[in-house]
Amino acid sequence: MATPLPWRPRPLHPRRPRPAPALGPAGGGRRRRHRRGRAPGDRSPTGIGAAAAAAMGTVLQRLQRFLDRPGPLGNLLGRLEARTGVRRLYLATGSLAFLGLYLMFGYGASLICNLIGFVYPAYVSIKAIESSNKADDTTWLTYWVVYGFFSIAESFSDIFLYWFPFYYAGKCLFLVWCMAPVTWNGSQVLYQNVIRPCFLRHHQTVDKVLGNLSTQALDTASSVTREVLHTLITSRARLAAEVAPQLSLSVCKSHGSRCR
C-alpha cells in the first residue's frame, strides 16, 4: 500500500503590478482631446438644451418676421399692439394657445375649424383673381384642390375620427400648414408628391371616361327631347280631334237652326 505524500501548501505567485498611467503630455493631452472631441456630437443634456434653444430662437425670429410683414394680420396685430402695449408676438402666441385649447375642449370646434380653413383662403383667392400676377392663382388653386380631396376623405373618416379629443385641433393645424406662406406648405407637398403623380398616370383614362359619359348624356338628352316633343304633338292632335266635334255641337246649339 502506497504511503500518501504529505500535504504542502501551494505557493502563491505575487500579482504583477500594473503600470501607472502616463501623466505626461501624451496621456493628459489624449484625455483633453477626448473631452474636446465630444463637443461637435455632444449628447449631454447641456448640448441638447443649447441646440433646442437655438432652434427655438430661429423659429421665433421667423415668426416675428412673419408677424411684422405688412398685411391684414400684421396691421391688425399692429393696432392691438399700439392699444394694449403688448408685443405682437405675445398676442399671436396667446391667441393661438387659446384657440388650440378651445378647439380641444370648446363647443362649436367644427364650425371654427371650417371657418379657418375656408374664410381666409377664400378672401386671398378673390384678391389673387383680381390681381394681374398669376403665381398666386396657381398657389391658391393648388390649395383648393387639396382642400377638396381632404373634404372627400373627411366625409368618410369623420365618423370615426370625430370621437378623438384632439381631432379638430389636428385638422386646424393641417389646414394652416396647407395655407402657410412657405414653399414647403402642405398643399404644395401633397400636390407634388401625391395628387400630381396620380393625375399624370390616370388623366387620359379619366378623359376618355368623361368623354364617353358626355357623349352618352348628350345622346340621352336628345332622345328624351325627341320623345317629349313627339308625345306633345300626338297629344295635341288627339286633343284637337276629340274637342272639335264637341265644340261644333255646342256652337250649333247656341245658334239654333242656323246649323241645319
Amino acid identity for residue 51 in this structure: A
User: Scanning the structure block, which residue is given the C-alpha cell 357623349?
Assistant: 215
Residue 140 placed within a domain: no
Q: Is residue 34 included in any domain, yes or no?
A: no
Q: Among 106, 121, 138, where does a domain finish?
A: 106
**pLDDT tens digits along 98-143:** 777 777 776 777 788 888 889 889 988 998 888 888 878 888 999 9
Q: What is the mean pLDDT of residues 91-98?
A: 79
Q: Please check whether residue 213 lies inside any domain of the structure.
A: yes
| Cα separation, 258 vs 252, whole angstroms | 7
- What single-letter DSSP state applies at residue 193? I
Host domain of residue 81: 61-106
Task: Measure the CA–CA gap between 178 and 135, rounded to whole angstroms.
Answer: 16
- The answer to whether the CB of 195 falls within 8 A of the CB of 140 is no
Choose one of 50, 76, 106: the last residue of a domain: 106
Residue 131, amino acid: S
63 within 8 A of 89, measured Cβ to Cβ: yes
Cβ neighbours of residue 251 under 8 Å, at least 6 residues apart?
A: 259
Sequence-ordered list of residues with C-beta below 8 angstroms from that of 91, at least 6 positions apart, any chain: 77, 80, 81, 84
pLDDT digits (tens, 9 = 90+) for 136-189: 888 899 999 999 999 888 888 777 776 777 788 888 889 989 988 778 889 999
pLDDT score of 21 more than 80: no
Nearest to 187 by CA among 142, 138, 122: 142
> pLDDT of 34-71, one tens digit each?
444 454 555 555 666 666 667 666 777 777 777 777 76
How many domains is the chain built from? 2
pLDDT beyond 60 at 32 = no
Question: Which of 75, 90, 106 represents a domain boundary (last residue)?
Answer: 106
